[in-house]
């Protein structure tokens, strides 16, 4: 495949992804059901979220997170290996609640965003995510 063909194919795939994301975001429907669990529509939105909006993705999930006051912490912290740089780090725990675990699975299904923001997972449903400080502002 020629480089130009690859670029054209990548651009077409990106546009298709953006269109799917925009369609899902425009679709009317609730993000949480009557029991506080994420709906299929919300999970599909998370899976299709475009990589250009890391902060929006994290914020969307945070707004759906059950027991966020206990299981969701965020702070500006030092970058692990870039001296003098800061990141916005999110410490998240599912509390064993299946709705939160569904959110994590949907995030994992968005492989591109997951690979860009996921830092760590620990036994017991504990996760660490981070985004550049500039993106978070």
pLDDT of residue 4: 82
Q: 97: closest CA among 55, 37, 27, 34?
A: 37
**Adjacency order of strands within the sheet including 86-93:** 72-78, 86-93, 126-132, 118-122
92-117 tens-digit pLDDT = 999 999 999 999 999 999 999 999 99
Give this prediction's pTM: 0.87
Domain boundaries, the chain: 3-136
Q: For residue 113, give both structure tokens.
A: 């965003």
Collapsed DSSP state (helix, strand, coil) of residue 90 = strand
32-51 pLDDT tens trace: 999 999 999 999 999 999 99
Is the sign of the CA dihedral 50, 56, 62, 63 positive or negative?
negative
């Amino acid at each position: 495949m020629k480089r130009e063909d690859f670029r054209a194919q990548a651009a077409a795939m990106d546009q298709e992804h953006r269109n799917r994301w925009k369609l899902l975001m425009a679709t009317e429907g609730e993000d949480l059901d009557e029991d506080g669990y994420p709906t299929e529509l919300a999970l599909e939105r998370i899976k299709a979220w475009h990589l250009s909006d890391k902060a929006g993705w994290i914020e969307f999930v945070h707004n759906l997170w059950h027991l966020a006051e206990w299981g969701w912490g965020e702070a500006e912290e030092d970058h692990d290996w870039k001296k003098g740089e800061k990141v916005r780090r999110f410490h998240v725990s599912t509390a064993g609640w299946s709705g939160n675990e569904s959110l994590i699975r949907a995030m994992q299904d968005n492989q591109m965003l997951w690979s860009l923001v996921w830092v760590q997972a620990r036994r017991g449903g504990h996760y660490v995510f981070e985004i550049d400080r500039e993106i978070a502002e």
